[in-house]
Amino acid sequence: MKLSRRDFFGAAGVGAAGVVALGAGGVAAGRAAAADDPAAAGGAGGVVPFHGDHQAGIVTPAQDRLHFVAFDVTTTDRSALVRMLQAWTEAARRMTRGEDAGPIGAVAGDEYAPPDDTGEALGLPPAGLTITIGFGPTLFRTADGVDRFGLADRQPAELVELPAFAGEELRPEISGGDICVQACADDPQVAVHAVRNLARIGQGVVGVCWSQLGFGRTSSTTSDQATPRNLFGFKDGTANLKSDQPQALDRFVWVSGTGTWMDGGSYLVSRRIRMLVEVWDRQNLRDQQDTVGRTKGSGAPIGRTGEFDPVDPATLPATSHVALAHPSSSGTAILRRGYSFVDGSDGLGRLDAGLFFLCYQSDPSTGFVQVQRNLRTDKMNEYVKHTSSGVFACPPGLTGDDDWWGSGLFA
C-alpha cells in the first residue's frame, strides 16, 4: 500500500526521511534525543554495549569497515547447533569488549594445544566492534520442505526468499545461507578477527558459504554522522532512518506485537550490487546528476541548494533514483547500513566494485521489496547489477550474560 506524503510523514513521526538503493531520498529531519537502547550508541574506549533491547550493529553508529559472512549448517544435530550458538555468543561478548575470543587467549595457554583465540587482534582496541546475527529461511526447512531442526513451525511468515527482480544476475554461490554474521568495526582487522574466530569455533557444525569485505560506510545511522559518498562519487544515504527517530524505527525497523521470538528483532536483506564504474565514468555530469536526482557536489536535490532541503519528486527527472525511492513515491522506509567494496578485477580490465547493500526492516515485503519494485524504471539500473541476495531474521538483543543468540527460537 502506498501512502500519501502527509500520511507517511505523520505516521512515521519523522521529517522527510527516505530510502534508497544507491543515492538518496528525502530529508532526514526530526533530530530528537538519542534512543535509550545501549546498542544505539558507542561507549567509552570504542566499546559498544553487547546487551540491550535490540542487537548492536543495526542502529549503532555505522562503523567504517565490514566483514559479512553467511554460514551453512553442516550438522544434523540440533543440540550441537545450540551449543555452538551459545559458544558464539560468549566469544562475541568477549571480543566486543576488546578481549580474546576465549578465556585462555592467543598466547597464555599450553604451547602444545591450539589457542582459543587466533591472535591477530592482539594489541588492538575494540574499535567499536559489533557482531550481529541472523537466521536464513533454509535453517528452518530445506528447499524440499524438510524440517531440519524441528524449527519449521517457528519460521516467521516474513522470512521467505526474495522474489525475482528484473535485471538481476544473482550468483547462487554467493547468495543465501543458513546463518549470517555481520561484523562491523573501525579497524578491518578487528572485524576479520571476529568472523575468523566464530568460524573456528563453529568447525564441524557450520561452514562458510560466502563472505564479503566492505569499506567506507555508505550510510549514516545517527544525526551527527556526515553523509558519506559511494563509488559513483555521490553522497549516499542522506535520507536514511536514524537512531534518534524512535517512532520511525518502531514502525519500519523493529518487529513488535507478534508474541513470537522475533519481537524486538528485525529482518535483514543483503544485496551485492556491482557498479559499472567504467560506464558511469564516461557519462557527463548533467547525466549523472539527472540519474541520481541530486547534485554531485552538495548532495542537494536538483533545483535546491542544500543537502537536506525538502525533496519534491514531481520536480525531479521522472526516472531519477531519488524521485522513485522517495517515501512519498515508494510508501515505505528502511534502515540502510551498506558498504563499498572493490574485489579486484573481472578479468576483462574492469573493476569488480560496487555497493554491498544491507538494510533492516520489520517486514521485507513492505520494506526492501516494495522499494525495489518501485525502482523498475530507475535510470540507475543502467549502471548497476545485483549479483548476490540474502534475507535473514535477526532476533532481538540479549538480556544478560546468561542469554544467547537464538535462545528464543530454540526454546
- Would you write out the chain's pLDDT as a tens digit for each of its 411 residues? 444 444 444 444 443 333 334 444 433 333 233 334 556 665 445 999 999 999 999 999 999 999 999 999 999 999 999 999 999 999 999 999 999 999 999 999 999 999 999 999 999 999 999 999 999 999 999 989 999 999 999 999 999 999 999 999 999 999 999 999 999 999 999 999 999 999 999 999 999 999 999 999 999 999 999 999 999 999 999 989 999 999 999 999 999 999 999 999 999 999 999 999 999 999 999 999 999 999 999 999 999 999 999 999 999 999 999 999 988 888 899 999 999 999 999 999 999 999 999 999 999 999 999 999 999 999 999 999 999 999 999 999 999 999 999 999 999
Task: Output the pLDDT for position 45.
Answer: 56
Q: Report yes or no on 239 lying in a domain.
A: yes
The CA distance from 258 to 252, in Å, is 15
The total number of residues written for the chain in this structure: 411
Task: Output the pLDDT for position 401.
Answer: 97
**128 DSSP 8-state letter:** T
**150 DSSP 8-state letter:** S
Task: Output the pLDDT for position 86.
Answer: 98
> How many H helices and E strands in the chain?
10, 9
Task: Output the pLDDT for position 19.
Answer: 35
Map grid coordinates 537512531 to a residue. 243
| Burial of 362 per CB tally in 10 Å (0-12, 13-18, 19+) | buried
Task: Output the pLDDT for position 89.
Answer: 98
Task: Output the pLDDT for position 143.
Answer: 86
The CA distance from 299 to 286, in Å, is 14
Number of Cβ within a 10 Å radius of residue 333:
30
Task: Output the pLDDT for position 28.
Answer: 32
Residue type, 120: E
Residue 285 near residue 292 (C-beta atoms within 8 A)? no
Residue 220 near residue 7 (C-beta atoms within 8 A)? no
Number of Cβ within a 10 Å radius of residue 286:
8
Q: Report yes or no on 33 lying in a domain.
A: no
Taking every pair of C-alpha atoms in the chain, what is the biggest distance, in angstroms?
70
The CA distance from 172 to 307, in Å, is 38
Secondary structure E strands in 3-141: 65-73, 130-135
Q: Report yes or no on 56 lying in a domain.
A: yes
Q: Report yes or no on 406 lying in a domain.
A: no
> In the chain, how many domains are there?
1
Show the CA angle centred on residue 151, arms to residues 148 and 370, nearest 5°.
105
Q: Report yes or no on 162 lying in a domain.
A: no
Helix H segments across 228-299?
A: 246-252, 277-280, 285-292
The range of the structural domain enclosing residue 44 comes to 5-27+39-155+169-398
3-class DSSP state for residue 86? helix
Q: Report yes or no on 164 lying in a domain.
A: no
- For 201, phi then psi, to 5°, come to -65, -35
The dihedral through the CA atoms of 177, 180, 186, 190 has a sign that is: negative
